[in-house]
Amino acid sequence: MSVSLPSSAAAEPVRVLVVDDQELFRRGLTMLLAVEDDIEVVGEASDGASAVELATVTVPDVILMDVRMPKGSGIEACVAIKEVAPSAKIIMLTVSDEEGDLYDAVKSGASGYLLKDSSIDEVAQAIRVVADGQSLISPSMAVKLIDEFKQMSRADREQVPTPRLTERELEVLRKVAEGLNNREIAKQLYISENTVKNHVRNILEKLQLHSRMEAVMYAVREKLLDL
């Protein structure tokens, strides 16, 4: 386990923690990300327990983490990290294309889900997108995500009153569920990007959700989309 505390560089890079039990993959990924001017790897961990410990120390912006690891899976670590470093965005980077792993990752607060056959450019871009508050999953997993959510029975969720969203919030939620980023939503609805960010924050707070991907799940469940 190695640690690098944040530098005082003028241009703030996205601070990343890399977590994977395969040392060769982890080190290779760290070296490739080091080439990116706007990304700084602040630490490496080889298992879930070390990931939680390092996240507490380094408080990274983004964590790249495998799903299946010893001493606590990536899913378990995701839940624990949200407790000790709630501002950290988590991207699961894995070979697993199982719908169950994807669903558990989203429910545990992950903001991204990438397969390990992704290119380094795709991984770097995912880091930037997620650090900016967006969500991202591998295209091949997108259909599985929607299918998983569509199959969820309304009877399976807790029977609690649905919080009331304003018409504008519902509009924004639909756009989020369609996969649009904040800039695209702002353009389509003729409002500022900052206004979109405020709406998204209010939506997540009202619905007690942790990420935009969970907002997609909610929109599908409540039949707000014609999928």
CATH of the domain at 211: 1.10.10.10
Q: Bigger pLDDT: 104 or 151?
A: 104
Is residue 108 within 8 A of residue 75, CB to CB? The reply is: yes
Residue with tokens 């299918």: 147
| φ/ψ of residue 210, rounded to 5 | -105, -20
CATH number at residue 137: 3.40.50.2300
Which of 122, 125, 124, 93 lies closest to 25 in space, CA to CA? 93
Q: Which residues of 60-83 are buried (b: 16+ CB within 10 A; e: fewer)?
A: bbbbbbbbebeebbbbbbbbbbbe
Over range 169-182, report the average pLDDT: 83
pLDDT of residue 50: 92
Task: Indicate if 161 and 111 belong to the same structural domain.
Answer: no
- 195 and 126 within one domain: no
Q: Are residues 142 and 30 in the same domain?
A: yes
Mean pLDDT calculated for residue range 187-199: 93
pLDDT of residue 196: 92
Query: Is residue 87 domain-shared with residue 165, that is, in the same domain?
Result: no
140 and 41 together in one domain: yes
Asked which of 7-11, 35-39, 51-55, 206-210 is least confident by mean pLDDT, the reply is 7-11
pLDDT at 9 over 80: no
Q: How many CB atoms lie within 10 A of CB 40?
A: 19
Question: Does the pLDDT value for residue 86 go beyond 70?
Answer: yes
108 in the same domain as 7 = yes
Whole domain around residue 128: which residue ranges? 2-147
Domain membership of residue 46 (yes or no) is: yes
Separation of alpha carbons 187 and 201, rounded Å: 18
- Which two tokens mark 51? 């990931």
The reply to whether 12 and 96 lie within a common domain is yes
Of the residues 99, 128, 147, which one is the last residue of a structural domain? 147
Last residue of a domain, one of 98, 122, 147: 147
Residue 190: band (very low, low, confident or very high) from pLDDT cuts 50, 70, 90:
very high
What does the pLDDT look like over 12-50, one tens digit per residue?
899 999 999 999 999 999 999 999 999 999 999 999 999
Of the pLDDT bands very low, low, confident and very high (cuts 50, 70, 90), residue 55 is very high
Give per-residue burial for 184-202: e unless 16+ CB within 10 Å, then b.
Answer: ebbeebebeeeebbebbee
- Judge if 53 and 136 occupy the same domain: yes
- Residue 162 carries which DSSP code? P
Residue environment code for 147-174, b if the CB has 16+ CB neighbours within 10 A, otherwise e: ebbeeeeeeeeeeeeeeebeeebbbbbe
Amino acid in the structure at residue 164 = R
pLDDT of amino acid 165:
84
pLDDT at 216: 75
**118-127 own/partner pairs: CB under 8 Å, 24+ apart:** 118/93, 120/29, 120/32, 120/33, 123/29, 123/33, 123/64, 123/93, 124/33, 124/36, 124/39, 126/91, 127/14, 127/16, 127/33, 127/39, 127/62, 127/64, 127/91
More confident call, 42 vs 73 = 42
Is pLDDT at 102 greater than 50 in this prediction? Answer: yes
Task: Please tell me whether residues 134 and 173 are part of one structural domain.
Answer: no
Q: Which of 147, 172, 201 is the last residue of a domain?
A: 147
Q: Is residue 227 part of a domain?
A: no
- How far is Cα 204 from Cα 211, in angstroms, rounded to an integer? 7
Mean pLDDT of the chain: 82
- Give the single-character DSSP code of 43: E
Same domain, yes or no, for 95 and 143? yes
On whether residue 167 sits in a domain, the answer given is yes
Question: Does pTM top 0.85 for this prediction?
Answer: no
Averaged over 183-203, what is the pLDDT? 92
Let me know whether 175 and 125 are in one domain.
no
Q: What is the pLDDT of residues 121-173, one digit of tens each?
A: 989 999 998 998 888 877 667 666 666 555 654 445 444 445 688 889 988 98
Question: For residue 150, what pLDDT is reported?
Answer: 57
Give the closest residue to 43 by CA, choosing from 71, 62, 25, 22: 62
- Look at the chain and report how many structural domains it folds into: 2
